[in-house]
Structure 1
Amino acid sequence: MTSVAAPSSNTMGAFCAMAAILCFSFVDLGIKLLSETYALHQVVLLRSLVSLVVFGAFILPFSGGLKVFRTRRPGAHLLRGSFIVCANICLFLGLAAMPIADAVAIFFVSPLAIAVMSVVFLGETVGPRRWAAIAVGLVGVLLIVQPGTEAFQVASLLPAIAAILYGAMHMVTRRIRDTESAGTMTIYVILTFLVSSAVIGFFISDGRYEAGAHPALSFLLRAWPPLASADLWVIVMLGFAGVGGSWLITQAYRLSEAAFAAPFEYVAMPIAIFWGVVFFDTWPTLNAWAGIVLILGSGLYMLWREHRKGVPHPPSPTRR
C-alpha cells in the first residue's frame, strides 16, 4: 500500500505545483506591468492587503477558522517568510530591469538548487532518471536564455539569488509540513509580506534615495505615487494570484518529494514567453521554441514515470 500511496501523493503535488506556477506567472506579469510607475514595496503592500482579504474569505473558513494562526513553529514561519520575501524582492527587481522571459529563465536554476538541497538537508533520494529530467529542463532554459545575450547582465544575478532563496524556503516547508497546515503557512507568509513592506515603506516611501540610474533601483527606491484606478485590477489580480499560488505551492511541497515537485515549475517558462509576446511584443526565437519543448518534455516525463511507478506489478514467482 505504501508503494502506491507515495507516487499518488507525488502526482497530486505535481499538479499543485503546476497550478501554483500559473498563479505566480500572473504575479510576474502584474509586477512587470506596474514596475515603471510604482514602488516595489508599495505594490507588495497593496497586494498583501488584498491577499489578506482573499485569504479570509476563501481559505480561512475551510482551514479551521482562527485556529489557522496557531503554530508550534513561529521561528520556522519567520525564517520561511523571510526567505520568500527576499526571494520575491530579488525576482521582482530583476523583472523590472529585464525581459520577463529572461528573468524567469534565469530563476530556473531553482529546481536544480532544490534537488541538491533536498539531498543535502532532507536526505531524499534523487535517482539518475530524475537528475536527467532536471538536466534536460535546464538545457531547455539555456536554449532560451542563450549565454552572451542581455540576460547575462548584472541584473541577471537578482533572479539567480532569488532562486537560491526560493529553494531554501522549500527546505523549511518540508521540515515543518507534518505539523503546519498549508493554510497556516500561507497566512504567515502574507503577514510577513505585509509587515516587511510596511516597514520599508515607512522609511523610504518619500523617494529620498531614488536616483533613477537603473530600472531595478528606481523600482525599489522611488516615491509612492497615488494608485490610478486603471491599475486597480492589476493589484486585485496580484492579491488573488499571490494567495492561490502560495497555498498551492505549499501543498505541492507538503505532498510530494521536493526533488520531484521542483521540475514541474518549469511550466512557468513557456507561460512567461506567452506573456512576453502578448503584452510586451517580445517574440521567441527558434532556440526558444526548442527550449519550451525540452522544458515541457522533462516535466511530462516525470509525471509519466511517477504514474508508472504507481501501477502495481504482478508478483514474480522467484520472489517471496
Structure 2
Amino acid sequence: MNTLSDRPGLGILFICLGVAAISVNDMLIKLLSGGYPLHEIVAARACMGLVITLALVKVEGGWHLLRTETPVLHMLRGLLVVLANMTFYAAFAVLSLAQVTALFFVAPLFITLLSIPFLGEKVGPMRLGAVVVGFLGALVMQQPWKDDLEVSRVVLLLPVIAAFFYAMLQVLTRRLGLTTRASALAVYLQATFLVVAFGFWLVAGDGRYADSVESEALRFLLRPWVMPSGRDALVLLALGTLSGFVGYALSAAYRLAAAATIAPFEYVGLPLAILWGWLIFGEWPGANVWVGCALIVGAGLFVFLRERKKDSPAPGRRRLWGRR
C-alpha cells in the first residue's frame, strides 16, 4: 500500500537538496540586502518561482491539482511562510549568515514539539530532554544576559521567531500533504509571496517609511524599489529558480516521510551557511556560536536517532497517516 510516510529515503533526499538550495538562496539575498528592499527581492523571486512551480503542476498531472477543499488551511500556510521569511531575512541586514542560520536551526526542535498535538506523533521524555538542550544552545549563541550586546535582543530573536513560524508551516504541510501534491503546495506559496510583496510595494514601495526607522533590519523591509543592475538582475533570476525548486523539494519531503524523521536533515544547511559566510562575506563564527551549534545539532541528531529506533518494524504496527 502506498502511503505518505513509507518513503523516508526519498523524503530525506528531497530535504537535503532543498536545504542546499536554501543555503545558496540565503547567501544571494544577503548579497542584495544592502541595496534592495526585501519585498522587491521576494517579488522578483516569486515571479520566476511561480512559473517553475506551475510547470511542475502540469508535469505532475494538470491544472486540476490546484483545486482544493481546504482553502483556509492553504491561506494559513501562506501566512506562515510570509511571517517566517520576513522575520528570518530581516535579521540578515544585521547578523552574520552563520549566526542567523544557526539560531534558525531550532526549527526542527519546534517541529518535534508541534508534531505531538498536531500530528499525533509520540515523543518520549528523552527526546523532550534533547529539545531542551537544543534550546539551551540557542541561548548560548544569543547570550541575552550580556550588557554589551552589539545588536538588540529583539533582532537576536528574529531567527528564533522565524523558526517557530517555519515549524508550524511544515507541520501544516504534513497535514495538507494528505490531499495536495507538492507542486500545488509550492504554487500556493509562490502566489502568497507575490500578493504580500506587491502589498508592501503599494504601501511602502516608494521608501516613504525607510528614513523614519533606525534599525537596519526594518530598513531592509522598507527601502524603496530600485531598478536592478545587469548583474543583480541575474542574481534575482537565480533566486527565482532556486525558490521554485525549494518550494517543491520541501513540500515533497514532508509529504513523503514523518516530520520527526525529516526535520533533523535540515541541519545540512548549517555547515553550508558557515562556508558561504566565510567565503563570500569574510565572517567566522565566535566561540559561543560554535558551542551553541554543537548543542543544537547534537540535540537534533539525538532526536533523529530516537525516532529511527521508535520506527523500527514491529509486527502489526501501523504508521500515522496510513492511507493516502
Does the pair score TM above 0.5?
A: yes
Distance 2:154 2:86 in 1: 16
Amino acid at match of 1:273: I
Distance 2:266 2:134 in 1: 10
Q: 1:21 aligns with which of 19, 22, 38?
A: 19
Distance 1:267 1:291 in 2: 16
User: What is the aligned-residue RMSD (CA, Å)?
Assistant: 2.9
Amino acid at match of 2:182: A
Task: Give CA-to-partner distance per residue, 1:82-108, whole Å, 9 cap, x none.
Answer: 111111011111112211111112212
Distance 1:16 1:133 in 2: 25
Name stretches of at least 5 consecutive residues in structure 1 with no aligned partner.
Answer: 315-320
- Counterpart contact for 1:8–1:310, Cα < 8 Å: no
1:267 correspondence with 2:268:
yes
Alignment CA distance shift 1:136-1:153 (3 Å): closer
After alignment, is 189-198 or 142-151 more displaced?
A: 142-151
Distance 1:253 1:307 in 2: 16
Alignment CA distance shift 1:64-1:151 (3 Å): farther
Distance 2:290 2:221 in 1: 33
Q: 1:110 aligns with which of 84, 107, 111?
A: 107
Amino acid at match of 2:267: Y
Distance 1:71 1:296 in 2: 37
In the TM superposition, residue 32 of structure 1 has moved relative to its aligned partner by: 0.8
Alignment CA distance shift 1:113-1:186 (3 Å): same
Amino acid at match of 2:100: A
Distance 2:267 2:284 in 1: 19
In the TM superposition, residue 208 of structure 1 has moved relative to its aligned partner by: 0.8
Alignment CA distance shift 1:203-1:97 (3 Å): same
In the TM superposition, residue 289 of structure 1 has moved relative to its aligned partner by: 5.1
Distance 1:82 1:75 in 2: 11
Q: How does 1:1-320 map to 2 (within 5 A)?
A: 9-57=7-55, 59-128=56-125, 130-131=127-128, 134=131, 148=146, 150=150, 153-211=153-211, 213-285=214-286, 288=289
Task: Give CA-to-partner distance per residue, 1:220-270, whole Å, 9 cap, x none.
Answer: 111111111111222122112212111111112112222222222122221
Alignment CA distance shift 1:145-1:235 (3 Å): same
- Counterpart contact for 1:11–1:303, Cα < 8 Å: no
Number of residue pairs matched by the alignment: 311
In the TM superposition, residue 73 of structure 1 has moved relative to its aligned partner by: 1.5
Is the partner of 2:184 in helix, strand or coil?
A: helix
Distance 2:23 2:151 in 1: 19
Alignment CA distance shift 1:84-1:270 (3 Å): same
- Counterpart contact for 1:38–1:219, Cα < 8 Å: yes
Task: Give CA-to-partner distance per residue, 1:34-79, whole Å, 9 cap, x none.
Answer: 111011111111111111222244x233221222322222111111
In the TM superposition, residue 298 of structure 1 has moved relative to its aligned partner by: 5.9
Distance 1:312 1:76 in 2: 33
Is the partner of 1:198 in helix, strand or coil?
A: helix
Amino acid at match of 2:53: F
Match of 1:317 in 2: none
- Counterpart contact for 2:87–2:159, Cα < 8 Å: yes
After alignment, is 138-147 or 167-176 more displaced?
A: 138-147
Distance 2:234 2:129 in 1: 41
Task: Give CA-to-partner distance per residue, 1:267-301, whole Å, 9 cap, x none.
Answer: 22211111110111012345655666666666666
After alignment, is 88-97 or 136-145 more displaced?
A: 136-145
- Counterpart contact for 1:107–1:160, Cα < 8 Å: yes
After alignment, is 86-95 or 204-213 more displaced?
A: 204-213
- Counterpart contact for 2:205–2:225, Cα < 8 Å: yes
In the TM superposition, residue 308 of structure 1 has moved relative to its aligned partner by: 7.0
Distance 1:208 1:6 in 2: 48
Distance 2:5 2:151 in 1: 37
Task: Give CA-to-partner distance per residue, 1:172-202, whole Å, 9 cap, x none.
Answer: 2122211111111110111111111112211
Amino acid at match of 1:249: L
Amino acid at match of 1:33: L
Percent of aligned pairs sharing the same letter: 39
